[in-house]
Amino acid sequence: MKQKLFMFFVIFGMLFVVNASAQAININKLPKYVVVAATNGGVLSDIDVDIRIKKSKYRSELKKLEKRLNNDDFVETYTDLLNEMDELGFEFVDSFANEVQDKGIIADQKVRQNLIFRKKGS
């Protein structure tokens, strides 16, 4: 019984390590500039982060970056977003805004902030 319990924890630990390493972002495989679109989710929710990756040759790493930035443990506010990108090796360059029509139950306009980041040292 102890051996089975031990094997369970070993396998669980190995799966956790593999999953964590699979989500590691390789900064060298990301482009020099990254545009991150962030929309304030409203009173009860955090910001929603979107990175356009459809035809990018950096698609796999940008997906990992988007997933990390959408993780509430890392990013809940614009300040968190700026600090997280700084920790990942990017500096803030500029931003521009555009209005987005919400198609939900309550149709209202939201402002999407497009934040431009550049790799540090580039």
Q: If pLDDT is split at 50, 70 and 90, which confidence band does 18 have?
A: very low
Question: CB–CB of 85/92 below 8 Å?
Answer: yes
Q: What is the pLDDT of residue 40?
A: 79
Mean pLDDT of 17-32: 72
Q: Calculate ∠ Cα 67-73-8, nearest 5°.
A: 85
Q: If pLDDT is split at 50, 70 and 90, which confidence band does 1 have?
A: low
The predicted-structure confidence for 102-121, as pLDDT tens digits, reads as follows 666 665 667 789 999 999 98
> pLDDT averaged over the chain?
81
- Output phi, psi for 93, to 5 deg: -110, -55
The predicted-structure confidence for 54-70, as pLDDT tens digits, reads as follows 889 999 999 999 999 98
Q: Calculate ∠ Cα 81-82-87, nearest 5°.
A: 95
pTM listed for this prediction? 0.72
In angstroms, the Cα distances linking 88 to 42, 51, 68, 98, 99 are 26, 16, 11, 26, 28
In angstroms, the Cα distances linking 32 to 45, 63, 99, 119 are 30, 16, 26, 5
Domain ranges of the chain: 2-119
pLDDT above 70 as % of the chain? 70
